[in-house]
Copies of this chain bind each other. A is one copy, B any other.
Amino acid sequence: MKKNVLIIGAGGVAQVVAHKCAQNNDVLGDLHIASRTKSKCVAIIESVQAKNAMKQEGVFEAHQVDATQSDQVAALIRETGAEIVINVGTAFVNMHVLDGCIETGAAYIDTAIHEEPDKICETPPWYANYEWKKRDLCAEKGVTAILGAGFDPGVVNAFARFAVDRLDEVKSIDIVDINAGSHGKYFATNFDPEINFREFTGVVYYWEDQQWKETTMFASGHEWDLPVVGKQMAYQSGHDEVHSLATNYPQADVRFWMGFGEHYINVFTVLKNIGLLSEHPVTTAEGQEVVPLKVVKACLPDPASLAPEYTGKTCIGDLVKGTKDGAEAEIFVYNVADHKDAYEEVGSQGISYTAGVPPVAAAMLIADGTWDAGTMKNVEELDPKPFFTILDRIGLPTRIRDAEGDRPWNA
């Protein structure tokens, strides 16, 4: 039974992770949080204390760490006695944090794929470029590493597994992510603009007819009619979970669709076409070297600042099609979250909430042994039912809609 938790990162998602760990510190143990800037960690712990979120008395300490240095991560794991590391730092640190876990034997959980600062949209399947290269080492050392355990990737992988298990044959998995909320700003991204835009500037890979295919952002759109949020346009986007699901279910077409309004697409298109979303430095007339994307990020609202005014709901789910008992069958497995509810509970907006709650559920499943696999796993490789059971209880209930209607997954 692993218990003590070290959270890496101090952004909007880390804030949710911290609150949820505190609310469940009877199942988990001592809590620690570390980032490049210790004061941000202190502020998060203060917000946990302000909400009186600790379920029982216990440790919650802030630390400074340079998570690009695996030896620093390993030293901090040893110092804190952490048995589970929830990595919700920037995607640039993933492999270094994983290395720190492998070195110390701590379990590793992250919510997004590793990225190198100067590369975008590498060869599919993306996980094979970095994470899966360490799979054999994790197995050999008995280290549990759960990759992509946020909402998407994460819960949507579990949605896919759940649906696939109910079918005789799976033909397609379409993941649809709609944020029908409103933050009231001219323009903002819901998480780190740098990571957000990087998702959309490169090749959009998807899996169809048992092969990788390519499109570009906003080139392939479809109107979806979803529970609660209604009819919404969404566009094929590159996303982590396509790469593991296509590997684990090669017989199915796997696509990811993200909802965007016309205004978002217009702003994105202008910035991209001018070159302002580039991660490659330009030189100003004065000779200063600057990465345009980092300047755009500095101009945009801090995603965490959106929370107090954010209203409306998100709907994220998987439409899975296949056959059952010789007939065509389809099922939509989904969650609806509310921005205002999230803010009231943990001081964060709904996008951070949906990303931050699932890795805590994963940590709880490692702590009780259910998901303590002793090797590297993507979420669809683990039993989804105990995951849904915890998520139902801690804020992200799973529902299904199929020919028999719309209901809780276990109804």
Residues of A bordering B, CB below 8 Å: 186-187, 194, 266-267, 270-271, 273-276, 278, 282-286, 288, 290-292, 294-300
Contact in complex: B288, A294 (CB < 8 Å) = yes
Q: Report which residue of A186, A187, A276, A292 has the largest number of chain B beta carbons within 10 angstroms of its beta carbon.
A: A276
Contact in complex: B285, A300 (CB < 8 Å) = no
The interface residues of chain B lying within 8 Å CB-to-CB of A267 are 270, 274
Q: Report which residue of A187, A278, A296 has the largest number of chain B beta carbons within 10 angstroms of its beta carbon.
A: A296
Contact in complex: A294, B285 (CB < 8 Å) = yes
Contact in complex: B273, A270 (CB < 8 Å) = no
Contact in complex: A296, B270 (CB < 8 Å) = no
What are 25 of the A-B contact pairs (CB < 8 Å)?
Answer: A187-B270, A187-B273, A187-B274, A266-B266, A267-B270, A270-B270, A274-B299, A275-B299, A276-B276, A276-B299, A282-B295, A282-B299, A283-B298, A284-B294, A284-B295, A284-B298, A285-B294, A285-B297, A285-B298, A288-B290, A288-B294, A290-B290, A292-B295, A292-B298, A292-B299
The interface residues of chain B lying within 8 Å CB-to-CB of A296 are 274, 276
Q: Do A282 and B298 contact each other (CB < 8 Å), given the known contacts A290-B288, A290-B290?
A: yes
Shortest CB-to-CB span from A195 to chain B, Å, is 12
Q: What 10 pairs across the A-B complex have the smallest Cβ distances?
A: A275-B299, A282-B298, A270-B270, A284-B294, A186-B273, A295-B295, A284-B298, A267-B270, A290-B290, A274-B299
Contact in complex: B297, A290 (CB < 8 Å) = no
- Give A186 to B291 CA distance when docked, in angstroms: 20
- Give A284 to B299 CA distance when docked, in angstroms: 9
Shortest CB-to-CB span from A248 to chain B, Å, is 35
Shortest CB-to-CB span from A360 to chain B, Å, is 25
Kindly list 5 other residue pairs between chains A and B, CB separation below 8 angstroms, not including A186-B273, A187-B274, A274-B296: A187-B273, A276-B276, A276-B295, A282-B295, A286-B294
The interface residues of chain B lying within 8 Å CB-to-CB of A194 are 285
The interface residues of chain B lying within 8 Å CB-to-CB of A299 are 274-276, 278, 282, 292
The interface residues of chain B lying within 8 Å CB-to-CB of A291 are 284
- Give A262 to B263 CA distance when docked, in angstroms: 15
Contact in complex: A274, B300 (CB < 8 Å) = yes
